[in-house]
Amino acid sequence: MGGGEKPLMYSDLKQLAEYRELLRTLVSKDIRSRYKGSVLGFAWNFAIPVLQLLVFWLLFGIIVKVKLEGAYPYAVFLFTGLLPWNFLANSIIGGSVSIVGNANLVKKIYFPLQILPATTVISQFISLLLGMIVLAVVILVFGIGLSGYLLLLPLVFLVQLVFAAGLAYLFGCANVFFRDVQHILGILVMAWMYVTPVLYPMSQVADRTADKYPWATTLMHLNPMTGIITAYQQIILDHQPPDWPWFGYSAIVAVVLFVASFSMFNHFKFRFEEEV
Partner 1 sequence: MGAEGQFQQSAAVKVASSPVVEVLDVVKQYRVRHEKGRTLKEAFLRQRIYQETINALDHVTFDIHPGKTMGVIGRNGSGKSTLLKLIAGTSRPTSGEVKVNGRVSALLELGAGFHPDFSGRENVFLDGAIMGLSRRTVEERFDEIVAFAEMEEFIDAPAKTYSSGMYMRLAFSVAVSVDPDIILIDEVFAVGDESFQRKCLERIDQFKSDGKTIVFVSHSLDAVRSLCDQAVWLDRGALRAQGGVDKVTDYYLWAVNEGDEKRLSADEGTHEDQQRWGTRRGEVIEVGLFGEAEENKHIFDTGDSFRVRVAYRSREEIEEPVIGLAIYRSDGVLCYGCNTSEMDRTPDKFKGEGEVWFEIDDLSLLPGDYQISVAFHNLEQTETYDHHDRKYRFKVLNGPKIEIGLCHLSHTWRGWQSGEE
Question: How many residues make contact with partner 1 (CB under 8 A)?
Answer: 24
Site membership for partner 1, residue 215 (CB under 8 A):
no
Alpha carbon distance 35, 37 (integer Å):
6
Cβ burial of 10 (10 Å; 0-12, 13-18, 19+) is exposed
Alpha carbon distance 276, 274 (integer Å):
6
Q: Which of 6, 14, 179, 208 binds partner 1 (CB under 8 A)?
A: 179
Binding mask 35-74 for partner 1 (x = CB under 8 A): -xx-------------------------------------
Nearer to partner 1, 6 or 179 (CB): 179
Nearer to partner 1, 115 or 159 (CB): 115
Nearer to partner 1, 11 or 25 (CB): 25
Site membership for partner 1, residue 33 (CB under 8 A):
yes
* Other C-beta atoms lying within 10 Å of the C-beta of residue 103: 14
Nearest to 132, CA basis, from 82, 90, 57, 168: 82
Binding mask 120-159 for partner 1 (x = CB under 8 A): ----------------------------------------
Which amino acid does the sequence have at 98? S
Backbone torsion region of residue 110, taken as left when φ is above 0, otherwise alpha when ψ lies between -120 and 50, otherwise beta: beta
Site membership for partner 1, residue 270 (CB under 8 A):
yes
CB of 177 to partner 1, least distance (A): 6
CB of 38 to partner 1, least distance (A): 11
Alpha carbon distance 218, 224 (integer Å):
11
Site membership for partner 1, residue 267 (CB under 8 A):
no
Alpha carbon distance 76, 78 (integer Å):
5
Q: Which of 13, 16, 105, 189 binds partner 1 (CB under 8 A)?
A: 105
Percent of the chain as helix, strand, coil, to the nearest 5: 80, 0, 20
Under the rule (CB under 8 A), what is the footprint of partner 1?
21-22, 25-26, 29, 32-33, 36-37, 104-111, 177-180, 270, 273-274
